[in-house]
Amino acid sequence: MSLGTRFDSGGTLVSEESPTREAVSGGLVALAFASFILGVLSLFQYLPVDTTVAGFTVSTLLGGGLTLVGAGTVTLGLASYAGRFETSPGHTGGIASAVFIGLLWFAVGGLVAAQTLGLSTLWPVVALFSGALGAGVALVAREDLGVTLSAGLFVLLSGLVVVTGVVGPGWRWDPNGFSIVATGTVGVPVIALFAGLVGAWVAARVYGGFGAQGRQTGAYVLVGTNAAGMLALLVAVVSFIVVRGWAPMTEGVRYGLYWGPVTWFNPPVLDTWVIVEGPILWFYWPFVMEGYGLNIPIDGVLPAIAGTFWLVVGAIVFAVPLGVGAAVFLTEYAEQGRFTFLVEISTNGLWSTPSIVYGLFGLAFLVPRLGNTPSLLSGQLVLGFMLLPLVVITSRESLKSVPDEYRDASAALGVSRWETIKSVVLPAAMPGVVTGVILGVGRIAGETAPILLVTTSSPFSADVAGVIQGGFSFVGSFPFVTVPTLDLVQSSNALPYQLFAIIGAGLGENLDFAWGTALVLLLVVMSFYAVGIASRVYFRRKLNA
Amino acid sequence: MSTATRFAGLDDRSLVVGGVGSVILAVTLLSFIVAPALTGYLALAFAAFVLVSAVIDEEHTVGFLLFVTTTSTVLILAFITVYLVWNAVPVAREMGLYLLVGSDPFWDTGPNVYSLVPMMWGTLVTTLIATLVAAPLGVAGAVFISEIAPGWAREIVKPAVEMLAGIPSIVYGFIGVTILNTFMQQELSLPTFGSLFVTGVVVGVMALPTVVSVAEDAIAAVPDPMRDGAQALGATDWQTTTSVTLPAAFSGISAAVLLGVGRAVGETMAATVILGNVTQLPDPLMDVFGNTITLTSLIASQYGAASGLQFSALFAAGVVLFLTVMALSVGSQLIERRMRRTLGGEP
């Protein structure tokens, strides 16, 4: 934002501060958040609703907290309406808030009418009526009265329902037409989640003193919670996999340092063996150094790691030259026109094409032509097709960001276009290109669907696919050397497929192996992302400095 | 510019390089389609031609090569379209409209009767649930990153969202199977293993980063002077966001949501492992906790055992998927283009 100053708090513009209102409503926001978080914990059964904490059941705590929040906000709203506090309420609660509150009351009215009162055909009428009532109060009454009454009463009602045990640990609800049965262990936390958020929102509006400032505070509370939720989701997923997968992944790791012969040779003159000794580090990590088989003590995922490695290398070799070339042509050679429009549409189209469609295409087009067997080569090409649009898009962005002065200066020296691109433009754009490639590789390394169709054949493999065959040696006949050959037309395992195959084979006894595989896969993919993001931050800082 | 004048604009050398090179390349591609055994030799011939031509005239050779790389995305897309449709033709000819609307039986390999109705329903329901998750949360996340967050929070949340996009789909699916499916069975007494609801929520979480990053780009593209004007009139930050920034970025945000929907439609592995993949509609139809199959999980779960007409039916599912996602992609691009024009001040 270019405007340097910001009105950081309501206090600078809104006439007077009222410490009582801010203290009480701030406390209510905290209490509502506490209910929300306790709701999350009890939903996932870390603290089931019937456990006792500090002498109360979790259910009672949630209900009591919500009742307090609801009663508190309603009281504050009434006090503000009676003029006890200095606030600046608008003459209406606002349309967006009214719609939101109307939806809440619509749900409450509908549930009560259909499930508690048992109205089978009439419930939509009741639901619409209560929804309209909630929205109407928020819309018509002055903001401090309307919003706190309609939303605060919702929180109060939710709290009372839970604290009185109407929806308690023993509650049971079999919704008509759905194949689930809800019980108190889920119902109470879900109510707490919703009511807690609504309570935090209303209390934050009171905290901001209603009006424009109040709406901003209320909205920021919700948007901020959403962002925090995304962070929490990432941390939860990653740490969950680390916790479950760490033990199976590191099972049987041994390492040591010993003194032993490093190398030995037989010099022609001495006619005796010279042995050089030294410290040797010995390291054995079975999970990533072994395959999966009967005579292997600790099953590992080495074949899958090797397969993923070859797939990624092949995709890069295929896609990066094509993608960077296309980006150079589009930014440096082509005039904007129908051709570039077509290329743009197809690049973005390829970007959004589902991975399973790539797999189908590979199955129909590549596999019959490349040895008629699932093969690494087909997988490399298909993943290359998927990587291509990512490389084109990111390389183009970074080529565009190279300033025109660079090109002009080079052209003024009489350097030809290709020389300019080769020695000026491409080096300047290289960081962006590399970052884009790394991030793209992170994405395709985790792809399962295409390789499932074109590369893999057996779910558990004991041996690494022998891609490099033969070695480098001198021979007596022409051309006097043999070089290792690449055999890419053979099926192979890969990390994401390994995980899929375990799930498909049944998780029972292989559950630990699955968690370990998930952790290795996550580490491989996440390290690509971490390196890509870090290098982007680094180069951006360097550019700005 | 007509083709004739365009050719006239090129000099003789680029005509020779481009003409001969294109012919060799076209023959190479053609040989891969009809006689893949010959492709290697033809590719070698093309490489030799490029090498010789580069020695003689580097500038024009490079121009030609770059042009060739540019056509690759168009070619690949064209090949995908052709091969999908080509393989779907047998089943379309056999089943006719039954493929899209038939109901009894839905999918029976015995008498070779195939209808995509349960799969399309499954994809529709999971996509709707996913959109309900991803669209509001994603737009809110984008607003947070570009409008609300102080610098330090942005430095944390933005990479975190990208990392979220990096978690492989099979890992999400694995978590869905082991944790969410078990949760549904234990706590909500769900009789079957897997449900549309869990799939939709997981797929929604997976589509979330796409919505966040594209919507964030759209919001960041709103010129700062528009915001400054609102603030100069005394609007709060939130008033500026809701009444100036978001309306101006509206088309870009809808493009973001469309792209997120496209991701949700095409998501394969999570749906394959979480759903039970039964080729029946849920009973009753509106039971979102029921079990069925999606277009993507149909392909992933049946490709191995399929042959003949069933194989072709899988390609028909692929065509439906492909067309849906292409329509979403092209739609979002047209919307974005319009937004850029409007914000750029052009008519």
pLDDT, residue A7, reads 43
Name the residue among A230, A349, A445 with its Cβ closest to that of B157.
Answer: A230
pLDDT, residue B43, reads 87
Q: B residues 211-240 near A, CB within 8 Å?
A: 212, 224-225, 227-228, 231, 235-239
A462 has pLDDT over 80:
no
Instruction: Give the separation between CA B340 and CA B347, rounded to whole angstroms.
Output: 11
Task: Tell whether A160 is covered by a domain.
Answer: yes
Per the omega criterion (within 30 degrees of 0), is the bond before A479 cis? yes
Whether residue A545 lies within 8 A of chain B, CB to CB, comes out as no
Sequence length of chain A is 545
Chain A closest CA to B256's CA: distance in Å? Answer: 12
Task: Kindly determine whether residue B77 and residue A349, on different chains, have CB atoms separated by under 8 Å.
Answer: yes
Whether residue B17 lies within 8 A of chain A, CB to CB, comes out as no
State the residue for tokens 């293993």: B193
Cβ atoms B133, B270 nearer than 8 A: no
Chain B closest CA to A78's CA: distance in Å? Answer: 25
| Amino acid residing at A430 | M
Q: B residues 61-90 near A, CB within 8 Å?
A: 62-63, 65-74, 76-77, 79-80, 83-84, 86-87
Supply the ipTM of this predicted assembly.
Answer: 0.90
Name the residue among B160, B263, B321 with its Cβ closest to that of A234.
Answer: B160
At B111, the pLDDT band (50, 70, 90 cuts) reads confident
β-bridge mates for residue A474, sequence order: A481
| Amino acid residing at B170 | I
DSSP code per residue over B268-330: -HHHHHHS---SS--SSTT-TTS----HHHHHHHHTTT--HHHHHHHHHHHHHHHHHHHHHHH
What CATH code is carried by the domain that includes residue A400? Answer: 1.10.3720.10
Instruction: Give the separation between CA B7 and CA B343, rounded to whole angstroms.
Output: 37
Whether residue B303 lies within 8 A of chain A, CB to CB, comes out as yes
At A338, the pLDDT band (50, 70, 90 cuts) reads confident
Q: List all residues 6 or more positions away from B196 whose beta carbon is below 8 Å from its beta carbon.
A: B122, B125, B126, B129, B275, B282, B288, B289, B290, B291, B292
β-bridge mates for residue A259, sequence order: A279
Whether residue B174 lies within 8 A of chain A, CB to CB, comes out as yes
The token pair at A210 is 């209603």
Instruction: Give the separation between CA B333 and CA B256, rounded to whole angstroms.
Output: 10
Task: Tell whether A13 is covered by a domain.
Answer: no
pLDDT, residue A3, reads 39
Name the residue among A329, A356, A417 with its Cβ closest to that of B296.
Answer: A356
At A213, the pLDDT band (50, 70, 90 cuts) reads confident
pLDDT, residue A545, reads 64
Instruction: Give the separation between CA A531 and CA B325, rounded to whole angstroms.
Output: 31
β-bridge mates for residue A172, sequence order: A183
The token pair at A536 is 């982007």
Name the residue among A215, A216, A349 with its Cβ closest to that of B329.
Answer: A349
Report the residue of A49, A178, A210, A330 to disrupt the B interface, i.e. the one with the largest count of B CBs within 10 Å: A178
pLDDT, residue A16, reads 53
- Give the pLDDT confidence of A9-60 residue by residue, as tens digits: 444 444 456 778 888 888 888 998 888 998 888 888 888 877 888 888 888 8
Asked if A361 and A466 sit in the same domain, the reply is: yes
Biggest CA–CA distance in chain A, Å, is 109
- Give the pLDDT confidence of A514-533 residue by residue, as tens digits: 899 999 999 999 888 888 88
Task: Kindly determine whether residue B287 and residue A177, on different chains, have CB atoms separated by under 8 Å.
Answer: yes
Average pLDDT of the segment spanning A193-203: 90
At A284, the pLDDT band (50, 70, 90 cuts) reads confident
Share above pLDDT 70 across residues of chain B, in percent, rounded to a whole number:
96
Asked if A179 and A312 sit in the same domain, the reply is: no
The token pair at B104 is 């009894």
A457 has pLDDT over 80:
no
Task: Kindly determine whether residue A361 and residue B80, on different chains, have CB atoms separated by under 8 Å.
Answer: yes
Sign of the CA dihedral running B257, B99, B318, B70? negative
Task: Tell whether A255 is covered by a domain.
Answer: no
CATH of domain B107-343: 1.10.3720.10
- Give the pLDDT confidence of A364-401 residue by residue, as tens digits: 898 888 888 888 899 999 999 999 999 999 998 889 88
Average pLDDT, chain B: 86
State the residue for tokens 């199955």: A363
- Among A435-444, A482-491, B215-224, the range scoring the smallest mean pLDDT is A482-491
At B1, the pLDDT band (50, 70, 90 cuts) reads very low
Per the omega criterion (within 30 degrees of 0), is the bond before B284 cis? yes
Q: A514: which chain B residues are within 8 Å (Cβ-Cβ)?
A: 174, 178
At A135, the pLDDT band (50, 70, 90 cuts) reads confident
A251 has pLDDT over 60:
yes
β-bridge mates for residue B107, sequence order: B114
pLDDT, residue A317, reads 92
Whether residue A485 lies within 8 A of chain B, CB to CB, comes out as no
| Amino acid residing at A460 | F
Residue B24: count of CB within 10 angstroms of its CB: 18
A86 has pLDDT over 60:
yes
Q: Spell out the long-range contacts of B106-114 with Cβ–Cβ below 8 A and sequence spacing 24 or more.
A: B106/B279, B106/B280, B106/B281, B107/B279, B107/B313, B109/B310, B112/B308, B112/B309, B112/B310, B114/B309, B114/B310, B114/B313, B114/B316
Report the residue of B1, B75, B76 to disrupt the A interface, i.e. the one with the largest count of A CBs within 10 Å: B76
Chain A closest CA to B235's CA: distance in Å? Answer: 8
Task: Kindly determine whether residue A186 and residue B188, on different chains, have CB atoms separated by under 8 Å.
Answer: yes
Instruction: Give the separation between CA B228 and CA B196, rounded to whole angstroms.
Output: 46
Asked if A235 and A336 sit in the same domain, the reply is: no
pLDDT, residue A357, reads 93
A281 has pLDDT over 90:
no
Instruction: Give the separation between CA A502 and CA A487, rounded to whole angstroms.
Output: 27
Asked if A177 and A317 sit in the same domain, the reply is: no
Whether residue B281 lies within 8 A of chain A, CB to CB, comes out as no
Task: Kindly determine whether residue B66 and residue A1, on different chains, have CB atoms separated by under 8 Å.
Answer: no
pLDDT, residue A391, reads 92
B322 has pLDDT over 90:
yes
Chain B closest CA to A329's CA: distance in Å? Answer: 6
Task: Tell whether A257 is covered by a domain.
Answer: no
B10 has pLDDT over 70:
no
A175 has pLDDT over 80:
no
Q: A394: which chain B residues are within 8 Å (Cβ-Cβ)?
A: none
* B14 or A345, greater pLDDT: A345
- Give the pLDDT confidence of B165-180 residue by residue, as tens digits: 889 999 999 999 888 8
Cβ atoms A107, A162 nearer than 8 A: no
Asked if A78 and A186 sit in the same domain, the reply is: yes
B261 has pLDDT over 80:
yes
Whether residue B208 lies within 8 A of chain A, CB to CB, comes out as yes
Local structure of B95: helix, strand or coil: helix
B105 has pLDDT over 70:
yes
pLDDT, residue A460, reads 77
Residue A350: count of CB within 10 angstroms of its CB: 23
pLDDT, residue A8, reads 44
Instruction: Give the separation between CA B289 and CA B291, rounded to whole angstroms.
Output: 7
Asked if A307 and A214 sit in the same domain, the reply is: no
Task: Tell whether A219 is covered by a domain.
Answer: yes
Average pLDDT of the segment spanning B72-77: 91
pLDDT, residue B345, reads 55
Q: A231: which chain B residues are within 8 Å (Cβ-Cβ)?
A: 156-157, 160
B212 has pLDDT over 90:
yes
At A238, the pLDDT band (50, 70, 90 cuts) reads very high
At B208, the pLDDT band (50, 70, 90 cuts) reads very high
A276 has pLDDT over 90:
no
pLDDT, residue B76, reads 93
At B346, the pLDDT band (50, 70, 90 cuts) reads very low
β-bridge mates for residue A260, sequence order: A278
Element (H, E) at A263: strand A254-265
- Give the pLDDT confidence of A403-433 residue by residue, as tens digits: 888 888 988 998 888 888 888 888 888 888 8
B309 has pLDDT over 70:
yes
At B344, the pLDDT band (50, 70, 90 cuts) reads low
Name the residue among B188, B238, B321 with its Cβ closest to that of A180.
Answer: B188
Q: B residues 92-131 near A, CB within 8 Å?
A: none
Task: Tell whether A207 is covered by a domain.
Answer: yes
- Give the pLDDT confidence of B122-151 residue by residue, as tens digits: 999 999 999 999 999 999 999 999 988 888
Closest-approach residue (CA) in chain A for B66: A325
Task: Kindly determine whether residue B325 and residue A352, on different chains, have CB atoms separated by under 8 Å.
Answer: yes
Burial, A289: exposed, middle or buried (Cβ in 10 Å; 0-12, 13-18, 19+)? middle
The token pair at A98 is 């009214």
| Amino acid residing at A394 | T
Cβ atoms A167, A184 nearer than 8 A: yes
* B21 or A327, greater pLDDT: A327
| Amino acid residing at A314 | G
Name the residue among B83, B157, B268 with its Cβ closest to that of A227.
Answer: B157
Task: Tell whether A477 is covered by a domain.
Answer: yes
Whether residue A525 lies within 8 A of chain B, CB to CB, comes out as yes
At A4, the pLDDT band (50, 70, 90 cuts) reads very low
**Total domains in the fold of chain A:** 2
Give pTM, 2 decimals: 0.88
Residue B311: count of CB within 10 angstroms of its CB: 19
Whether residue B91 lies within 8 A of chain A, CB to CB, comes out as no
Asked if A224 and A314 sit in the same domain, the reply is: no
Instruction: Give the separation between CA A206 and CA A74, rounded to whole angstroms.
Output: 10
B52 has pLDDT over 60:
yes
Chain A closest CA to B100's CA: distance in Å? Answer: 19
B158 has pLDDT over 60:
yes
Measured in whole angstroms, how far is the alpha carbon of residue A218 from the centre of its chain? 26
Element (H, E) at A469: strand A468-469
Whether residue B262 lies within 8 A of chain A, CB to CB, comes out as yes
Q: Which one, of A297, A296, A261, A294, lies nearest residue A280 by Cα?
A: A261
- Give the pLDDT confidence of B80-97 residue by residue, as tens digits: 999 999 999 988 888 888
Average pLDDT, chain A: 84
Residue ranges of domains in chain B? 3-95, 107-343
Task: Tell whether A59 is covered by a domain.
Answer: yes
Q: List all residues 6 or more positions away from A305 whose beta carbon is below 8 Å from its beta carbon.
A: A288, A495, A520, A524
The token pair at B30 is 């053609």
Instruction: Give the separation between CA B212 and CA B138, rounded to whole angstroms.
Output: 5
Question: Domain residues for A202?
Answer: 18-93+141-242
B153 has pLDDT over 70:
yes
Q: B259: which chain A residues are within 8 Å (Cβ-Cβ)?
A: 352
Q: B205: which chain A residues are within 8 Å (Cβ-Cβ)?
A: 233
pLDDT, residue B315, reads 92
From residue B336, give the alpha-carbon distance in Å to each of A357, B70, B214, B258, B340.
25, 22, 10, 11, 6
